[in-house]
A = this chain, B = another copy of it.
Amino acid sequence: MAPKIVDKEAKKQEILKAAMRVFAQNGVVKTKMADIADAAGIGKGTIYEYFRSKEDIFAEAYTHIFQGTEEKIGAVLQSNQAPEEKLKALMTVTVESFFSDGGEFAGIMMSFWSEGIRNKNERIIEIINLEEIYSEYRGMISEILQEGMEKGIFRKMDAFMTASVLIGAMDGILLQRILDPNIFKPQQAVEVLLDSYLNGIKK
């Protein structure tokens, strides 16, 4: 009489995938546990066998999405590319991770993002610490810029501020793209952004 053998971890991932699909569609707040259960093709109660709460699912989804990205970014930073190329690679990886999975991630990210914003003072900050994320990201870009300045490739500039602007630009581009998926290809936007940025737009 062995218990039914189920790969708990696999099922958990299945539920998580389902949840992410619904989160992306309706936003986290508007997603009901019943919706997730339906999407996963299981009963409402079953969710609680794998997750403690809705918030828990949210947190795991968040982690799931960012894990891959962080690794890829690390690889870029360790590479020997020229600062210019490194910058481009960094932004490309970021944008791509948003739109991998057919752009579905992007919608969830937006949800995380707005959730992160509105929960500035609450408990979710422990899970989604946008401030920290931005801070880290700023650091990485700053370093590349610094490296470029030291190597005489970039002109003198306020690296910190420029990093902030670059990150902001990327976020904003993603936002517009999410609001209107047909507006432009994100990858293309990154190129325009970097081209303008690197070369200026003035004659």
Contact residues of A between 94 and 144, Cβ < 8 Å to B: 110-111, 113-115, 117-121, 130-131, 134-135
Most chain B beta carbons < 10 A, residue from A26, A134, A196 = A196
Tell me if A75 counts as interface (CB < 8 A to partner B). Answer: no
A130–B114 alpha-carbon span in the complex (Å): 14
Q: Is the beta-carbon distance between A29 and B198 smaller than 8 angstroms?
A: no
B29 touches A196 (CB 8 A): no
Among A11-19, A61-69, A169-177, the one that faces the other chain is A169-177
- Cβ contacts under 8 Å, A173 to chain B: 164-165, 168
Residues of B within 8 A of A179 (CB): 117, 120, 130-131, 134
Residue A52 is within 8 A (CB to CB) of chain B in the complex: no
Q: Are B201 and A198 in touch, CB under 8 angstroms?
A: yes
In the complex, whether A157 has a CB less than 8 A from a CB of chain B is: yes
User: In the docked arrangement, what's the CA distance between A155 and B202, Å?
Assistant: 6
Q: Which residue of B lies closest to A28 (CB)?
A: B118
Q: Given the complex, which residues of B lie within 8 Å of A180, measured CB to CB?
A: 131, 134-135
- Convert A159-190 into 0s and 1s, putting 1 for each residue whose CB lies closer than 8 angstroms to a CB of B: 01110111111111111101110011000110
Question: CA–CA, A183 to B135, complex, Å?
Answer: 10
> Which residues on B sit within 8 Å (CB–CB) of A196?
157, 162, 165, 197, 200
